[in-house]
Amino acid sequence: MSYIKALAYYLPENIVTNEQLQQELPNVDVAKTAKAIGVENRHVAAADETASDLAVKAALKLFADSGIRPSDIDFVIMCTQFPDYVIPSTSCLVQDRLGIPTSAGAVSIDLGCSGFVYGLMLADGLIASGAAKNVLLLTGDTPTKSLHPEDVNKILFGEAASACVVSTEGIAKVGKFDMGTDGSGAEHLIIKTGGTRHPERTGASSIDEEGNVRRDDYTYMNGSEIFNFSVEHVPEMIANILDKNQLEKDDVDYYVFHQANKFMLNTIRKITQIPKDKYHVDLTNTGNTSCNTVPVGLVQAIESGKITKGSRVMITGFGVGLSWAGTMLTF
C-alpha cells in the first residue's frame, strides 16, 4: 500500500497573455479560441530553461514546504517528453542537482498527458515490492519549445513542473489503477523529426484532412482525433476505475482529470454525468501543461478546500501515445 506524502508544483516566471499572442498570431481570433479552451494566461520557460530546471525548482519547493530531505529519497522517477539530452537520462541529472544519495535508483519515462498517473503507478509498485520507501516522482515539460511560431496551439499550451513523494505513509492512499495504450494513434500527436527514425529536420509541411498545417519539425496535433479518442476511452476508464476500487459513482467526492482544454473536459463531464461541483476545470492561468496538469490540479483543489481529509478523488490522464491511466486517491 502506498501514499502520496507531499505534493508541489512550479510555474516558470515568464507569463504570456492572450493579448501578447494576438500580436504573434494576427490571423487568428485569439480571444475566441482562448475562451473556448479556457485559457487566459500561460507560463512559459525561458529560452535556456529546461524540463530538469523546472523539476528541480518544484522539488526544492516540496522539500522546503514538507520538511522531507533529499537524503530521505531512495528512488527518482522523472517524467518528461522534452529531456535535456538524448543521453543521459534526465532523472540522473536531477538526482545529482538535488543532492539525492547515489544509493538511490533513478529512471525517466517519456509520457505526456498520462505521465503523472503512470509515474504514480510505477512508484506504487516500487513501494509495494519493498524496493523503495520514498519515491520522488517528478514531472516537467516544455511543450511550447516544439511549437511552430504560427501554430494556433500556442494559445493552449503552457509549461510547469511538479514534485510528489510517494511513500509508505502520507496524506492520500493510492488505489488500484486502470490503464491502456493505443499506439495506432501515435501519428495524431507527434514531432516527426529529431529522433533516430527521422533524425534530420526536413522543413516539410502539408495540410491534413482537418485543414491543420502538419510540419515535420514541430509538434503536430490532430485535435479532432485526440478529442474523439478522449470521449471514447475516458468514460470506459472511469467505469473501470470504479469497478477495480469497488466504488460507486456517488462515492467519488472529486475528479481531477488531465486539463486538456475546457471544451473537451466539459464534454467528458456531460457524457459521464459528473456533477459540475465535483469536477476540476481550471486552465485559466496555466493552460495545458502536459504531464503536469493532474498534480497541479490536485494542489489547486487542496488549496481551495475542494479536497479535504476523507475525500475520495479520481485522477486520470489521457492523450499523446495514445495512452490513458487513472486511479483513486483517498485523503
Round to whole Å and give the CA distance between 164 and 246: 26
- Tell me the H-state helices in 1-42: 18-24, 30-37
* The residue to which cell 479518442 is assigned: 229
Amino acid at 48: D
Round to whole Å and give the CA distance between 111 and 87: 17
Instruction: Render 149-182 in DSSP notation, one character per residue.
Output: TT-GGGGTB--EEEEEEEESS-SEEE---EEEE-
Round to whole Å and give the CA distance between 292 and 258: 8
CB 90 within 8 A of CB 81: no
Residues catalogued as catalytic: 113, 258, 288
Round to whole Å and give the CA distance between 221 and 225: 9
Q: What values do phi and psi take at 271, rounded to 5?
A: -60, -40
Round to whole Å and give the CA distance between 150 and 200: 21
Q: How many helices (H) and strands (E) does the chain have?
A: 8, 16
